[in-house]
Amino acid sequence: MSNRDEVEYLVEALNLDKKIQYDDFFVFKFEDCREISPEINTPRYKQYFDISISKHDKGVLMVGSESYTNLDNTISFIPPGQLFSYHIPKGERQTEGVCIMFKSSFFQGNNGIYNIISRFPFFNIRTIPLYKIDKQQQDRLYNLFEEIHTEYDKNDYASKEIIYSYLLIILNMINRIIFKDLEPVEFTRHTRVAVQFENIVMRNVLRSNNISDYSRHMNISEVYLRECVRKTTGKSPKQIINNYRILNAKALLHQSNMTVSEISFKLGFDEPTNFIKFFKRYTNTTPKQFRESAK
């Protein structure tokens, strides 16, 4: 879970014979992966928005504390900051699919991470990250994914602009398929502050349980932070922090081989015993029991 750029890591871990054309966009086909490093199983926090379409995939996708199998004929979405890992069963190399990765800077105009989530709510961490799609939907989307892949490798005149146009079509098509009855929600100032706070907590940036540490980090007053979070979520910042600590703990217990002590220190607890008490208070089970039941 290092700070190394995610694309550079993937190119090496998946042994992709592929040139990195842009610093905020990447695409690859599953079948282009050669000898896959065991390091790919290590849980990592996403740095990019990730959309993957799979025709054939017997791997196991772990997003947060949830596991997803039977990935044939699916499309998945993982936002920046989400903890994920991917496991390929031994001897299973017959995969077919395309993965698109992009940063908010790839979007033209004023399109920060929150604007993108607002326009395309399937990237919200609270939504389901994986959907089955029918053959007609798959064929239409897969053709566009392949067009992007071809244009990326070509890297010709106006390739980046063409890729951007195809990507917008894909994202809007997905909106139509999955969220056709939902209207994108414009973020108010209160909501933007609350989402920024949740993103910092989710990525465990500060490893702190003190609200004042977050308000200083965000250059706002503690009172204003509490007001924004309460108005947007109906919860206090402390409740949000505790909820994400539990989610992060479950994800690490489920996805990683870290010891309970290592996880407790990573989440900002001074002593493993304090973490165990905290976890049991919110889940009615110990970290060890949760890990065993998740196997």
CA–CA separation, 28 and 290 (whole Å): 35
Task: For the domain made up of 6-179, give the CATH fold.
Answer: Jelly Rolls (2.60.120)
Categorize the per-residue pLDDT at 211 as very low, low, confident or very high, splitting at 50, 70 and 90.
very high
Superfamily per CATH, domain 189-293: Homeodomain-like (1.10.10.60)
59 vs 1: which has the higher pLDDT: 59
> Mind listing the pLDDT tens digit for each residue in 252-276?
888 788 899 999 998 889 999 999 9
pLDDT at 1: 42
Average pLDDT of 233-246?
87
CA angle 106, 107, 111 (to 5 degrees): 125
What pLDDT digit, counting tens, does each position of 77-121 carry? 998 888 888 887 766 666 899 999 999 889 876 566 767 876 787
Highest averaged pLDDT of the listed ranges 1-15, 144-158, 221-235: 144-158
pLDDT tens sequence across 163-199: 999 999 999 999 888 766 444 445 578 877 887 888 7
Predicted confidence band at 213 (pLDDT cuts at 50, 70, 90)? Answer: very high
33/28 Cα distance (integer angstroms): 9
pTM of the complete model: 0.68
Q: Between 197 and 41, where is the model more confident? A: 197
The 3 state secondary structure assigned to the chain is CCCCCHHHHHHHHCCCCCCCCCCCEEEEEHHHCCCCCHHHHCCEECCCEEEEEEEECCCEEEECCEEECCCCCEEEEECCCCEEEEECCCCCCCCEEEEEEECHHHCCCCCCHHHHHHHCHHHCCCCCCEEECCHHHHHHHHHHHHHHHHHHHHCCCCHHHHHHHHHHHHHHHHHHHHHCCCCCCCCCHHHHHHHHHHHHHHCCCCCCCCHHHHHHHHCCCHHHHHHHHHHHHCCCHHHHHHHHHHHHHHHHHHHCCCCHHHHHHHCCCCCHHHHHHHHHHHHCCCHHHHHHHCC
Q: How does pLDDT run across 274-294, given as a tens digit for each residue?
A: 999 999 999 999 999 998 886
Query: What is the structure's pLDDT at 221?
Result: 95
pLDDT tens digits along 50-60: 999 999 888 88
Q: What is the mean pLDDT of the chain?
A: 85
Sign (positive or negative) of CA dihedral 133, 136, 139, 140: negative
Asked if residue 151 lies in contact with residue 166, where contact means CB atoms within 8 angstroms, the answer is yes
The domain segmentation of the chain, as residue ranges, is: 6-179, 189-293
- Dist CA 280 CA 274 (whole Å): 10
Length of the chain measured in residues: 295
Q: CA-based Rg of the chain, rounded to a whole angstrom?
A: 20
